[in-house]
């Protein structure tokens, strides 16, 4: 009896031992599998329209697969669509509550403000940033990447240059011209030595074209323009104006009142008041430039690629912004992707930013949506046979300049410079005084954040 009990115990022990070994083996396998498949979720706030969102969603899914294959780690991108209107106030509240997303799509004028608010990750400080800022910048549209590069003064008083985002979408404005209106005035244009088959190449020539194309009896004008700061940047840029510089003491100062900027604003004002070729389209209650162009009332306007489809019923051309003393140039618009300091895995987030802005993905994005790629290496590989006018914008972007790097740029534009431009255009203030007053206010209320 004792012998039988012993034999049973021995068999049970053997079974237990085998079971234990199998359990350990499966546990090790499960741990190895978990190390590969453990999900890391990154939340993205994005503001795409429905068509853009569908393409972006598929790109995000492809990135997740690519990242798993390359690293053996799983990352899940949680896409949350946020209305663009009101995004900045929402982000400010989120920063105060320490509840920001991991990645966010923001206006290209915002990185500086958020960087100075110590909310963003400096991408060049991450371990997987395997380049220099200048080397990496060569991959992107110059003005688009420049909007993400910010100088910040350390506690020791040393200026450091960091990269706080990657371009997500980019655009600019160029000169739209109504070919039919040019043809109707072909004789008059030729009599002045002007070619009715092309747009003006510089501002001096622009005035000559606009004078002939302005026919008051038909309520037709050579030009219609917006006069907000962003829309005025092509004028300021072509005259070589700079809005912010460092003085001899290394402090940022506003230089919007210097001669180049005065010449630019004077030129804009003269188009309306002196030459009478601008329709006053910037005034409250007037027909805005886009509608006037659609109606055949404005022969030329500055506008962007977003209107190519809208204007498709008009026989129009797109040319570079006319050259000024500093050559042709434009403003730059668009969005950037940034990483907030609350991000759970900033290295994985950077990998996604680099993936989305890569040459291959930007070709896919551009050809799917008809948009300009942010990666300049993709420019020569885009099929433009069905979108020849997009090529002009791509060429214009090579000489475009970013918005002035001033904190709270949205407030500067709406409350400071915008009203000053309006006063100058109306003749309620001289050009010199309007710009001088703007410079005083910017130096007093906005630039101290950069210099402290």
Q: Tell me which of 152 and 163 has the higher pLDDT.
A: 163
User: What SS3 state is found at 136?
Assistant: helix
Check if the beta carbon of residue 282 is closer than 8 Å to that of residue 232: no
Please give the helix or strand (H or E) that residue 87 lies within, else none. Answer: helix 87-96
Pick the range with the lowest mean pLDDT from 21-25, 38-42, 207-211, 370-374.
21-25
Q: What is the pLDDT of residue 27?
A: 40
Both structure tokens of 221: 């004008």
Over range 219-247, report the average pLDDT.
96
* Distance in Å from the first CA to the final CA of the chain: 92
Check if the beta carbon of residue 101 is closer than 8 Å to that of residue 341: no
Average pLDDT score over the chain: 91
Range 356-360, long-range pairs (CB < 8 A, 24+ positions)? 356/59, 356/63, 356/166, 356/168, 357/139, 357/140, 357/166, 357/167, 357/168, 359/139
User: What SS3 state is found at 382?
Assistant: coil
**Distance (Å, whole) CA 54 – CA 255:** 43
Which residues have CB under 8 Å from 275's CB, separation 6+?
207, 210, 211
User: What SS3 state is found at 162?
Assistant: strand
Both structure tokens of 57: 């969603």
Over range 177-188, report the average pLDDT.
98
Ordered DSSP codes for 10-61: HHHHHHHHHHHHHHHHHHHHHHHHHHHH-EEEEEEEE---HHHHHHHHHHHH
| Spatial CA neighbour of 222 closest among 301, 317, 330, 295 | 301
Which tens digit of pLDDT belongs to each residue from 309-350? Answer: 999 999 999 999 999 999 999 999 999 999 999 999 999 999
**pLDDT tier for residue 149 given thresholds of 50, 70 and 90:** very high
Q: What is the pLDDT of residue 33?
A: 37
Both structure tokens of 150: 């910010």
**Distance (Å, whole) CA 90 – CA 80:** 14
**Distance (Å, whole) CA 132 – CA 298:** 46
Helices (H), 111-178: 111-116, 133-137, 142-146
pLDDT beyond 60 at 6: no
**pLDDT tier for residue 157 given thresholds of 50, 70 and 90:** confident
* Residue count (the chain): 452
Please give the helix or strand (H or E) that residue 170 lies within, else none. Answer: strand 166-171
What domains does the chain contain, in order, with CATH numbers?
40-171+333-397 (3.40.190.10), 174-331+406-451 (3.40.190.10)
| Spatial CA neighbour of 140 closest among 320, 349, 397, 432 | 397
Which tens digit of pLDDT belongs to each residue from 48-61? Answer: 999 999 999 999 99
Ordered DSSP codes for 316-327: EEEEPPPBBTTB
State percent of the chain over pLDDT 90: 85
Q: What is the pLDDT of residue 158?
A: 86
Which tens digit of pLDDT belongs to each residue from 388-425? Answer: 899 999 999 999 999 999 999 989 999 999 999 999 99
Token pair 């407030």 is found at: 411
| Spatial CA neighbour of 375 closest among 392, 389, 401, 356 | 356
Both structure tokens of 78: 């949680």
Over range 361-376, report the average pLDDT.
95
**pLDDT tier for residue 39 given thresholds of 50, 70 and 90:** low
Please give the helix or strand (H or E) that residue 167 lies within, else none. Answer: strand 166-171
Would the pTM count as exceeding 0.75? yes
Helices (H), 385-446: 390-397, 409-411, 418-426, 431-445
**Distance (Å, whole) CA 133 – CA 25:** 48
């Amino acid at each position: 009896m004792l012998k039988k009990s012993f034999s049973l115990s021995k068999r049970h022990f053997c079974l237990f031992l085998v079971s234990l070994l199998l359990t350990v083996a499966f546990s090790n396998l499960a741990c190895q599998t978990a190390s590969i498949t453990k999900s890391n979720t990154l939340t993205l706030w994005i503001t795409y329209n429905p068509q853009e969102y569908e393409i972006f969603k598929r790109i995000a899914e492809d990135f997740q697969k690519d990242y798993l294959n390359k690293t053996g780690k799983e990352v899940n991108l949680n896409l949350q669509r946020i209305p663009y209107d009101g995004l900045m106030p929402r982000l400010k509240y989120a920063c105060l509550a320490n509840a920001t997303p991991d990645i966010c799509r923001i206006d290209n004028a915002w990185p500086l403000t958020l960087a100075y608010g110590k909310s963003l990750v400096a991408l060049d400080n991450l371990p997987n940033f395997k380049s220099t800022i200048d080397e990496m910048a060569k991959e992107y549209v110059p003005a688009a990447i420049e909007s993400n590069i910010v100088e910040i003064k350390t506690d020791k008083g040393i200026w450091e240059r960091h990269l706080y985002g990657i371009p997500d979408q980019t655009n600019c404005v160029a000169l739209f011209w109504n070919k039919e209106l040019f043809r109707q005035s072909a004789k008059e244009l030729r009599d002045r030595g002007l070619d009715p088959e092309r747009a003006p190449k510089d501002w001096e020539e622009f005035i000559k074209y606009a004078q002939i194309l302005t026919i008051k009896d038909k309520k037709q004008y050579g030009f219609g323009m917006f006069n907000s700061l962003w829309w005025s940047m092509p004028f300021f840029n072509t005259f070589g104006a700079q809005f912010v510089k460092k003085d001899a003491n290394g402090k940022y100062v506003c230089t919007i009142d210097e001669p180049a900027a005065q010449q630019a604003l004077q030129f804009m004002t003269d188009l309306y008041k002196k030459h009478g070729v601008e329709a006053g389209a910037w005034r409250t209650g007037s027909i805005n430039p886009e509608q006037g162009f659609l109606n055949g009332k404005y022969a030329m306007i500055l506008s962007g690629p977003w209107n190519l489809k809208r204007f498709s019923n008009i026989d129009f051309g797109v040319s570079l912004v006319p050259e000024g003393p500093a050559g042709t140039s434009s403003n730059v618009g668009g969005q950037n992707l940034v990483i907030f300091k609350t991000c759970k895995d900033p290295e994985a987030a950077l990998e996604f930013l680099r993936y989305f802005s890569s040459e291959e993905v930007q070709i896919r994005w551009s050809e799917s949506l008809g948009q300009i790629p942010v990666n300049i290496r993709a420019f020569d590989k885009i099929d433009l046979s069905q979108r020849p006018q997009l090529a002009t914008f791509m060429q214009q972007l090579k000489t475009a300049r970013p918005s002035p790097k001033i904190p709270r740029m949205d407030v500067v534009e709406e409350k400071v410079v915008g009203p000053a431009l309006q006063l100058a255009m109306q003749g309620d203030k001289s050009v010199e005084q309007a710009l001088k007053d703007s410079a005083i206010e910017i130096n007093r209320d906005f630039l101290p954040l950069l210099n402290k």
